Structure 1
Amino acid sequence: MTDQPVTVLGIDIGGTKMAAAIVAADGEILTKDRIATPPGDADQVFAALGELIARVKGDTEPAAVGIGSAGPLDQEHGLVSPVNIAGWRNFPLVDRVRALVGDVPVRLGVDGHCFALGEFWTGAGRDVGSLLGIVVSTGVGAGIVVDGRPLLGQSGNAAHLGHVVVDLDGEACACGSYGCVETYASGPRMVARAKRRGWRSTEDVDAAVLSADAAAGDEIALSVFDDGAQALAAGIVATAVTVDLTTVVIGGGVAKAGPVLFDPVQRWVKRLAQLPFVADLTVQPAQLDNAGLIGAARLGWDLLPAATPSESALR
């Protein structure tokens, strides 16, 4: 027997970074670390993840593991094929992690779902029953929590709000469709659109520069943010009227633009949300720096029997 408190290992995997943490029953991160996602083949990438897990875990024996990963993924079989990790295609992530950690329950989820779950558990949504969480960054990801549980869908890929079509005559999207929310609201697509309109067209700049110029009153930058906000609001309202929720939390790098993004999003949401049951739809910034990591751990906690100390943390 061990005197260690019951804990869960949370893992957050993306195209640019990998993070892991030991998380307590109340959502507190006890130890954590992160690394840049390395290049290389499947085994080289996983070897780096394995070293990260070993450092974070130390002598701890987590009772379960929750993994949030960029998708697409095959939740039933524990496979991942992240678009931005070329070495992983139908990679058996769940089995490989279980082999490292031991014979404990392991649950895999989309990183956007984990972001929403983290904010629901200990962040901006901790006082509500349901929410839509959105990450606006190099892409637009999302997750939905309904009555305290993540809405995963048949394949585990539900809530791909970034690929809701909001413009039938819109630009081509990387997913193969066109006019998706992501083509208007993601950081790189907003920068590209602004450059086509003459904003810093010869400079190597990113969405942070675009948001700074918008905050300073640059007309092109403001116009592009308004376009992105309108698309984002359309996706938000479409989701809200489908799922029947009123709380939206937005995080990610582009969300750091603050009022430059949130003011037009709120204005467009108010304009588009006309049905009575979404009239009080609210949009607010994320509160957590590690929402995806905490949400991944929550996936693990949800695997444990109610008799564990996690019971008080789960609604």
Structure 2
Amino acid sequence: MAPSGKPQADLVFSDQSSRRPLITTSAIGAANRRRVLETLHRLGPSSRAQLARSLGVNRATIATILQPLLDSATLVEGDPVAPSEAGGKPARPLWFRGDGPWLGAVHLSPDFVVAARIAFDGTIHEMHHAAYSRDASTDEITACLHQVTDGCFAGEALVGIGVAAAGMVDTSTGSVISMHLTPGLNGLPVVALLEKRFGATTLVDHHPRVQALGDRWFGLGREIQDFASVYTGEALGFGIVHGGEVLRGENGAGGESGHTIVQLDGDECRCGRRGCWETVATLGWLRDRAAADGLPHADTLDSRSLAALVADGSDDAAALLDLYARNLAIGIANNEQILAPGHYIMHGDACTGGEALRTALQTWVTRLAPERGQPPTVFFAEDPDQITLLGGAGLVLSSVFSTQA
């Protein structure tokens, strides 16, 4: 009897009780292969024994995981390495084949589109660039997209194409939902356009999340399971990695951290709301503030030129740099309160500010973030200009070797 005294209904379980199926044998295999690829990217060329030790499995298991990667020529064996003085068989280090299969990558920004053909080891073999104005039509942007992708992908065998798109995206339809800076991108069906043209599986995601995949597969995030990849410049955004996986909302929602409100009833944002983080921590804000402070060349000021003014002894520039760092740190500290990744890899304009800006940003993040022992760490990306393209390659790798059933 139920506590109310009424008869308890029989429990009925249907196949609708869970939308996610059990992980299949093939999915487990794909997940293991992805772990091997991630480990190789982290360690560099490695023998079977080295991989087995790093992954905590025996030689027979690692051999089973590796065989499909060798059969598909994703990995190749290097020349034998002489054994140590202790003896044993010569090891044959495994590494990625340098001449294909290819990963396609596209960065679709408010001002330009770049395409690259990339090997599994992250080497960019070909890259093409085309610019357009912010009032360009959808047809003009599409023509630029076809121009650069034809230059990189035509006649090539692609494992897939990964697209980093500015603005809000819908990963289920493969299109850009909206882009405030460049309305011609609104509704662009980028996946359908590229799949029709090249016959390769194509994936699109929000730019900061693809950037985070670049960090995860090829950048500073290779050694970190939890971090945020932060884009700075004319817009702001987070790509969040938790437990080695990029976090996404349904159909690609989320990541629009620049439109979280940090100042109630603050300045109006391009999105129509007031007080968004973007209104106090982007290049537009920085240039307006520089003009109000009487700094030279305020209309083109960025973190690089601001840091140069500081180095030349300008007190006004030093105060503005510190304020810019504080405003950037506000959004980072808010994210630390919610998700606490503990590590922040900066990209875009902020990276051009050098150590002066990184130190100021670290100081403010330490001051504003919750106090839980070790403060969050701020890094500047090693190669912020190319990591988004490498993230497009990572988007393909994450799909081909997905842990999802």
Is TM-score (shorter-chain normalized) higher than 0.5? yes
Q: Does residue 244 in structure 1 map to residue 340 in structure 2?
A: yes
1:280 partner amino acid? P
1:14·1:37 contact (CA, 8 Å) conserved in 2? no
Instruction: Pick one of 289, 303, 308 that aligns with 1:212.
Output: 308
Q: Name the amino acid aligned to 1:240.
A: E
Bigger Cα displacement from structure 2, 253-262 vs 6-15: 253-262
CA-atom RMSD in angstroms: 2.3
Matched-pair contact (CA < 8 Å) for 2:227–2:344: yes
Equivalent in 173, 179, 188 of residue 82 of structure 1:
179
CA distance in 2, matches of 1:115, 1:215: 30
Q: State the SS of the aligned residue for 2:254.
A: coil
Find the counterpart in structure 1 of residue 246 from structure 2.
Answer: 150
Q: Runs in 1 of length 4+ with deviation above 4 angstroms?
A: none
Q: What's the counterpart of residue 93 of structure 2?
A: none
Alignment of structure 1 residues 1-315 onto 2, 5 Å:
5-37=100-132, 40-80=136-176, 81-102=178-199, 104-200=200-296, 204-207=299-302, 208-276=304-372, 279-288=374-383, 289-305=385-401
**Aligned mates of 1:171, 1:228 — CA distance in 2:** 16
8 Å CA contact 2:215, 2:391 repeated in 1: yes
Q: Which ranges of structure 2 fall in alignment gaps of 5 or more residues? A: 1-71, 74-98
Distance 1:216-1:140 versus aligned 2 partners, 3 A rule: farther
When the two structures are superposed, what TM-score results if normalisation uses the length of structure 1? 0.88
Native 8 Å contact 2:154 2:198 kept in 1:
no
Instruction: Determine helix, strand or coil for the equivalent of 1:35.
Output: strand
Q: TM-score, normalised by structure 2?
A: 0.69
CA shift in 2, pair 1:170/1:217, >3 Å: farther
Quick one: distance in 1 between partners of 2:251 and 2:236? 19
Per-residue deviation at 1:64? 1.1
How many angstroms apart in 1 are the aligned matches of 2:280 and 2:354?
A: 17
- Cα gap change, 1:168/1:259 in structure 2, threshold over 3 Å: closer, same or farther? farther
- Answer yes or no: is the 8 Å Cα contact 1:120–1:131 preserved in 2: no
Maintained 8 Å contact 1:20/1:56:
yes
Alpha-carbon contact 1:73-1:82 (below 8 Å) kept: no
Whether the 8 Å contact between 1:125 and 1:131 is mirrored in structure 2 is: yes
When Rg is computed on C-alpha atoms for both structures, the one with the higher figure is 2
With over 3 angstroms needed to count, the CA separation of the structure-2 counterparts of 1:148 and 1:127, relative to structure 1, is same
1:70-109 C-alpha deviation (Å, 9 max, x unpaired) = 012222211213333332321211111111111x322111
Against the structure 1 CA distance between its residues 273 and 89, is the aligned structure 2 distance closer, same or farther, given a 3 Å change threshold?
A: closer
Size of the aligned set, in residue pairs, is: 303
Matched-pair contact (CA < 8 Å) for 2:130–2:148: yes
**AA in 2 matched with 1:18:** V
Structure 1 residue 297: Cα displacement: 1.6
Which structure ranks higher in relative contact order (CA pairs < 8 Å, sequence separation ≥ 6)? 1
8 Å CA contact retained: 2:165, 2:207: yes
Q: Which residue of 1 aligns with 2:27?
A: none
Q: Is the 8 A contact 1:187 1:254 kept in 2?
A: no
Instruction: Decide whether aligned partners of structure 1 residues 154 and 215 sit closer, same or farther in structure 2, where only a CA change above 3 A counts.
Output: farther
After superposition, the Cα gap between the structure-2 partners of 1:220 and 1:177, relative to the gap in structure 1 and judged at 3 Å, is farther
What is the rounded CA distance, in whole Å, between the counterparts of 1:153 and 1:138 in structure 2?
Answer: 24
* Contact preservation (8 Å) 1:10, 1:65: yes
Partners of 1:116 and 1:166 lie apart in 2 by 23
Equivalent AA in structure 1 for residue 369 of structure 2 = A
Question: How far did residue 169 of structure 1 move?
Answer: 4.8
Q: Spell out, residue by residue over 1:172-191, the C-alpha distance to the aligned partner (whole angstroms, 9 max, x if none).
A: 22222233222222122111
Conservation of the 8 A alpha-carbon contact between 2:141 and 2:184: yes
Q: Unpaired segments of 5 or more residues in structure 1? A: none
- Please report how far the alpha carbon of residue 52 of structure 1 lies from its aligned counterpart in structure 2 after TM superposition: 0.8
Instruction: Supply the distance in 2 between the matched residues of 1:214 and 1:262 (Cα, whole angstroms).
Output: 14
Q: Using the TM superposition, name which of 146-155 and 14-23 deviates more.
A: 146-155
Mapped contact 2:286–2:301 kept (Cα < 8 A) = no
